[in-house]
Amino acid sequence: MSKFVYADNAATTKLSARAFEAMKPYLTEYYGNPSSLYHIGAQTRQAVDNARAEIAALLNASKPNEIFFVSGGSEADNWAIKGAAEIGARKGKKHIISSKFEHHAVLHTLEYLEKHGYEITLLDVHEDGLVRPEELENALRDDTALVTIMYANNEIGTIQPIKELAAIAHQHKVLFHTDAVQAVGSIPVDIQDLGVDLLSFSSHKFHGPKGVGGLYIRKGIRLPNLIHGGAQERGLRAGTENIPGIVGTAEALKESVENMPERNARLEKIRDKIMDQLLKIDRSRVNGDRTHRLPGNVNMCFHGLEGESLLLMLDLKGVEASSGSACTSGSLDPSHVLLAIGLPHEVAHGSLRLSFSDENTEEDADYILEILPPIIDRLRSMSPLWEKIISSDKK
């Protein structure tokens, strides 16, 4: 096997060399506890403060201390949603609005809250994979505590009108959270311009280390403690800081933002070329809107075959891809995202997600376009489902 193409960057990305170099000293010589008063504690405290200030500036938060470090996207989502739910409950507000195609870190948190007496409304995302602002307007109630809608979807890459949605929530004096895990580092994110109250991000989705991320909490919002203990993260999220992780996050984000214009122009070209070419295949479709879409996301369905078999065949040729999110592959249920945009079960089964990053080249795209069509032909030639589709067509 000669070629290797990693095309599953929505699941995780490779740690960048720059982030790794920045982290190294904090894995070796700088080991002090930031809460200690002596010299080596001050070194690591300074590193955490610098990282916080850098990230705040890159995301245009108004103050560094609006950024709180956590263990990743799932933790940030849990904290934002359960915290806002608790704030709401104190005022008798126990209704939360979200969408049908959120990440499980959001959907399962909402299911948990539902069991504890909250009412949840999930907005439709329609065939184009987009929430309609007027439907949010209609769903808001006097007892709504929170609106939580993801910035960019992790399976189909569609980008929501977050600024508009947040403004609608605010007209009704309701808090707005966005899971921006797929957006931060990938597309421009300007927190003050978006006007959101809470925003989650995760380092390993933009070439930072795994197990670290952050929650932006707008100044003035008093989110309840997530972890009780020491005074770290202003007493709200106790535990000695993941210093190398935090330093690596800031470096990776800086690099991603610096490379963004050049990278996204390149990735959009790769994405569009792949979609255009693969659409020539009989009974293929692109899932989700083509323009309001992450630069590196391709998600398509090919009728009459199983996504899992497609992935195995691609793997044999050195191409690592996905049929849905890492959390659903391994189960036989089709993706909740593809069902949410209205695909029937049997079509949703034949889905393929290719997600590209800084590491991918146009040659990767050419290689995929060379090997994929014959694989699809072969799988279809063995598929009873495809047989049925074709013969019912001839009638």
Ligand X SMILES: *Cc1c(COP(=O)(O)O)cnc(C)c1O
Taking CB under 6 A as the criterion, the residue among 182, 299, 328, 357 binding ligand X is: 182
Taking CB under 6 A as the criterion, the residue among 146, 181, 305, 340 binding ligand X is: 181
Question: How many C-beta neighbours within 10 Å does residue 364 have?
Answer: 20
Find the helix or strand (DSSP H, E) in which 63 lies: none
Taking the complex as a whole, the smallest distance from the CB of residue 389 to ligand X amounts, in Å, to 33
H helix runs in 103-189, sequence order: 104-115, 133-139, 162-171
Alpha-carbon distances, residue 262 vs 255, 269, 365 (angstroms): 12, 11, 17
Q: Footprint of ligand X on residues 194-223 (CB under 6 A)?
A: 202, 205, 213
Taking the complex as a whole, the smallest distance from the CB of residue 127 to ligand X amounts, in Å, to 20
Taking the complex as a whole, the smallest distance from the CB of residue 322 to ligand X amounts, in Å, to 12
Taking CB under 6 A as the criterion, the residue among 34, 73, 209, 244 binding ligand X is: 73
Q: Which is nearer to ligand X, 145 or 150 (CB)?
A: 150
Per CB under 6 A, does 158 bind ligand X? no
Q: Is 136 helix (H, G, I), strand (E, B) or coil?
A: helix
Question: What span, in angstroms and rounded, lies between the C-alpha atoms of 292 and 111?
Answer: 29
Per CB under 6 A, does 148 bind ligand X? no
Per CB under 6 A, does 72 bind ligand X? yes
Per CB under 6 A, does 334 bind ligand X? no
Q: Under a CB-based contact definition with an 8 Å cutoff, are residues 129 and 287 in contact?
A: yes
Q: Which is nearer to ligand X, 72 or 304 (CB)?
A: 72
Per CB under 6 A, does 242 bind ligand X? no
Taking CB under 6 A as the criterion, the residue among 9, 154, 232, 383 binding ligand X is: 154
Is the dihedral angle over the CA atoms 25, 255, 154, 165 positive or is it negative?
A: positive
Per CB under 6 A, does 81 bind ligand X? no
Question: What span, in angstroms and rounded, lies between the C-alpha atoms of 258 and 245?
Answer: 20
Is there a catalytic annotation at residue 327? yes
Residue with tokens 């391709």: 298
Q: Cβ neighbours of residue 227 under 8 Å, at least 6 residues apart?
A: 237, 238, 239
Per CB under 6 A, does 244 bind ligand X? no
Taking the complex as a whole, the smallest distance from the CB of residue 366 to ligand X amounts, in Å, to 27
Joined together, the tokens standing for residue 172 give 């009704």
Question: What span, in angstroms and rounded, lies between the C-alpha atoms of 298 and 81?
Answer: 29
Q: Which is nearer to ligand X, 160 or 232 (CB)?
A: 160
Q: Which is nearer to ligand X, 77 or 197 (CB)?
A: 77
Q: Which is nearer to ligand X, 271 or 380 (CB)?
A: 271
List the one residue out of 294, 361, 358, 364 whose CA is nearest residue 19: 358
Binding segment (CB under 6 A) for ligand X, from list 86-94, 177-185, 331-339, 376-384: 177-185
Per CB under 6 A, does 32 bind ligand X? no
Are β-strands 144-148 and 175-179 bridged in parallel, bridged antiparallel, or unpaired? parallel
Residue with tokens 């070329």: 273
| 146 backbone dihedrals φ, ψ, rounded to 5° | -155, 145
Q: Which is nearer to ligand X, 81 or 305 (CB)?
A: 81
Taking CB under 6 A as the criterion, the residue among 8, 54, 66, 179 binding ligand X is: 179
Q: Which is nearer to ligand X, 182 or 360 (CB)?
A: 182
Are β-strands 297-302 and 284-286 bridged in parallel, bridged antiparallel, or unpaired? antiparallel
**DSSP secondary structure letters along 271-310:** HHHHHHHHTTSTTEEE-S-SSSB-TTEEEEEETTS-HHHH
Per CB under 6 A, does 150 bind ligand X? yes
| Residue nearest to ligand X according to CB distances in the complex | 73
Question: How many C-beta neighbours within 10 Å does residue 110 have?
Answer: 22
Per CB under 6 A, does 246 bind ligand X? no
Joined together, the tokens standing for residue 274 give 């792949």
Per CB under 6 A, does 185 bind ligand X? no
Per CB under 6 A, does 105 bind ligand X? yes
Joined together, the tokens standing for residue 343 give 């695909």
Give the total of residues touching ligand X (CB under 6 A).
14
Q: Which is nearer to ligand X, 32 or 83 (CB)?
A: 83
Q: Which of 27, 40, 53, 327 is catalytic?
A: 327
Interface residue list for ligand X (CB under 6 A): 72-74, 77, 103, 105, 150, 154, 179, 181-182, 202, 205, 213
Q: Which residues carry out catalysis?
A: 327
